[in-house]
Structure 1
Amino acid sequence: MPHAPVGSAEWKSLIIEGAKALGICLNQDTADHFAVHALELLKWNRKINLTAITDPLDIAVKHFLDSIVPSLMIPQGAALLDIGSGGGFPGIPLKIIMPSLSVTLADASLKKVNFQKQVIRSLNLRNIEAVHARAEDMPRDPKFANAFDVIICRAFSALDVFAETALPLLAENGIIAALKGKLSEKEIESAHIRIGKIRFESEVKTYLLPYLGAERAMVIFKSRIFLPS
């Protein structure tokens, strides 16, 4: 697979074709926006530690294509919180392809939040904010408590800790989603117990990343009200 430079026409084509393999239709404008984000990421990464992923193909696949997979299950117009957003993933790519979303990016690193704000300005995105905060502290602010229809995260070590942290920020009938590599049944079960099996149904969707073939998993906890009777 040729490694087209980030932001090049070939790199953008990789994004568009890779998205098709995931069942997602992207246009050229979206790919252009992704390129702006990616180039800012590389620029800032020379000064602050935003990502260890710097190979052009890996950036396209592991950052952008992986980030947009949840768009297949996120309702239009939802209020979405991205916990530990880091370089803006998955929150910014999701906002780009789903403009109706109201997005909050949260990170404990002020430098990373400043980067996110720069990307938001560069892309002239509306109805999205980057917040310097620890997720554990956010429920104390009435603005954030029980405020989000979808809470998502890629940068977590323990699924059960993430799920428990997300719970007081989740709106009624909301969805908690986690993107990760391989997950054990034990890890999913532990998280499910933490947030309550009676209230939530768990679902695991596995998929292969285009071009790389790496297996990924999206774990979803959703209110049982969404389930058919």
Structure 2
Amino acid sequence: MILPSWVNLLIALVALVQVESTYAQDITRLQAGVVKITANPPQGTGNVGTGFIVWLETNAAYIVTSAHVVAGDAQPRVEFFTKRNMPVTAEVLGLEGDDEVRGLALLVVRGRENLPKGLRTLPFAETTRFSGGEDIIMIGFPGNAGPWNVVKGNISSRQDRDLYYSPTVDSGHSGGPILQNGNVLGLVVVAGQSSGRGVVARSVHDFVEGFGITVEDHGEPGAPESPQKVLASLKVQELDSI
């Protein structure tokens, strides 16, 4: 049966609304794993950056960011997506201060009373092999836009542990996730004039694993671990389900 043109148009519009609704829900779930970080070193001005949750316990949330975001402040403030405008104090567990560009930092927010419902970890991508042109999104806190700002972009290239992308983003995105299909490909470290720069998820994974964050094997029981599965080791957690 041939449907009237207006019926086909209506079907197409309904499908588009459903796609947009699903996309909005997916973005909201990703934003729930991203935090705003405000650091106030003894000397200098305050610094605003981004981090994302890599591990959750009933009374603690572990957050990775770029080292320069929290440099000089052992107790930065963290704001969660599901409890905005109510920052809590975090503790810097480790800092790669010897690498001003690629250095990473691990924070922890302790206390069940400081952790709102709805928090989640962000899963790592299963591979970091890029050919260039892959679609990505970045979530952060640029000074000229609203909080948990979403920027769409593309991978430009990879060189060793460095990941280049466009467009470049504001410094408020520093420490935030570089995401593809909801998975972490890397972490934003610096902004450039023509392209942005990050470190690949493998580097982030190795850094947090050094602090004893549990690694989960996603392979079949008894099967050898696939090299492309290594970065899927941080399982998705939601605070309400732990």
Shared fold (TM-score, shorter chain, > 0.5)? no
Larger radius of gyration: 2
Instruction: Give 1 or 2: higher strand fraction.
Output: 2
User: Which TM-score applies when normalising by structure 2?
Assistant: 0.26
TM-score under structure 1 length normalisation: 0.27
More helix by share: 1
* Larger RCO: 1 or 2 (CA < 8 Å, sep 6+): 2
